């Protein structure tokens, strides 16, 4: 089976098929050599929401599951507060492999990995996509995407990405970094509540 991302991802017939294919990806030599596991993401059937983060961290690399470390624990709590259960939402990352020492993903890595997330979007076909943090925001909106600016637009009228609603918000790690009184935590809370409002509107 080919593991060239563009060819392999495009012909993935289902989420599970894609998960199997991405395990063999060696498009980024350094990441393929340093990773413990590929972290493809998770998607329950008929998920209305797809959350997109940056890249796996140490715990995700160990377990193969996205957002299980500190950021993930905060995210679970915030989803619960908004009325969403983690097992109802799909979760994926821009990069499927952990960058060494959690460095920022390189532009070349993001480009090589792009076909996987592209195909995941089509396979999940969510009502709402939530970009968590700058790397995900740039993936959807383009280089130089600024969360503060996009979020102001996103709150009143979600952006559209290939016909789907896209909300751009802060990464949970920013909420941890800025602390309980910081703007990112408040914004994340508001924006996850907005996700629930959009879902209710669409269901009407
Ligand atoms: N941060 C991310 O962006 N993704 C994860 O899966 C974990 C931490």
How many residues would you count in the chain? 204
pLDDT tens, residue by residue, 129-165? 999 999 999 999 999 999 988 887 656 456 788 889 9
Higher pLDDT among residues 3 and 2, named by residue: 3
- Distance separating alpha carbons of residues 91 and 89, to the nearest angstrom: 6
CB of residue 67 inside a 6 A radius of ligand 1: yes
Average pLDDT over every residue of 56-78: 98
pLDDT tens, residue by residue, 91-139? 999 999 999 999 999 999 999 999 999 999 999 999 999 999 999 999 9
CB of residue 140 inside a 6 A radius of ligand 1: no
Task: Count other Cβ atoms within 10 Å, centred on residue 142.
Answer: 8
Please state whether 102 falls in left (phi above 0), alpha (psi between -120 and 50) or beta: left
- Distance separating alpha carbons of residues 18 and 112, to the nearest angstrom: 15
Q: Rounded to the nearest whole angstrom, what is the distance from the C-alpha of residue 75 to the centroid of ligand 1? A: 10
Say what the pTM is.
Answer: 0.95
Alpha helices in the chain (DSSP H): 5-10, 15-23, 29-34, 58-63, 70-82, 107-124, 134-141, 147-156, 172-178, 183-203
CB of residue 191 inside a 6 A radius of ligand 1: no
Helix axes 107-124, 15-23, angle to 10 degrees: 160
Q: Rounded to the nearest whole angstrom, what is the distance from the C-alpha of residue 92 to the centroid of ligand 1? A: 8
How far is residue 138 from each of residues 21, 33, 77, 94, 194, measured CA to CA in Å?
25, 26, 26, 10, 21
Question: How much of the chain, in percent, has pLDDT values that exceed 70?
Answer: 96
pLDDT tens, residue by residue, 172-193? 999 999 999 999 999 999 999 9
Domains of the chain (ranges, CATH numbers): 5-203 (3.40.470.10)
């Amino acid at each position: 089976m080919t593991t060239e991302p563009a060819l392999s991802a495009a012909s993935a017939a289902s989420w599970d098929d894609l998960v199997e294919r991405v395990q063999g990806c060696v498009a980024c030599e350094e990441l393929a050599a340093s990773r413990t596991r590929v972290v493809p993401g998770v998607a329950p059937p008929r998920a209305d929401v797809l959350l997109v983060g940056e890249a796996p961290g140490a715990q995700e690399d160990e377990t193969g599951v996205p957002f299980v470390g500190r950021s993930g624990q905060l995210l679970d709590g915030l989803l619960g507060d908004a009325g969403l259960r983690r097992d109802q939402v799909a979760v994926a990352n821009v990069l499927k492999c952990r960058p060494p020492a959690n460095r920022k993903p390189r532009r070349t890595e993001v480009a090589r990995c792009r076909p996987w997330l592209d195909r995941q979007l089509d396979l999940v076909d969510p009502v709402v996509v939530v970009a968590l943090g700058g790397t995900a925001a740039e993936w959807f909106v383009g280089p130089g995407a600024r969360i503060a600016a996009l979020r102001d637009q996103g709150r009143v009228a979600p952006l559209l990405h290939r016909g789907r609603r896209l909300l751009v918000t802060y990464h949970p790690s920013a909420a941890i970094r800025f602390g309980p009184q910081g703007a990112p935590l408040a914004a994340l809370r508001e924006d996850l509540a907005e996700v629930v409002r959009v879902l209710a509107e669409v269901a009407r």
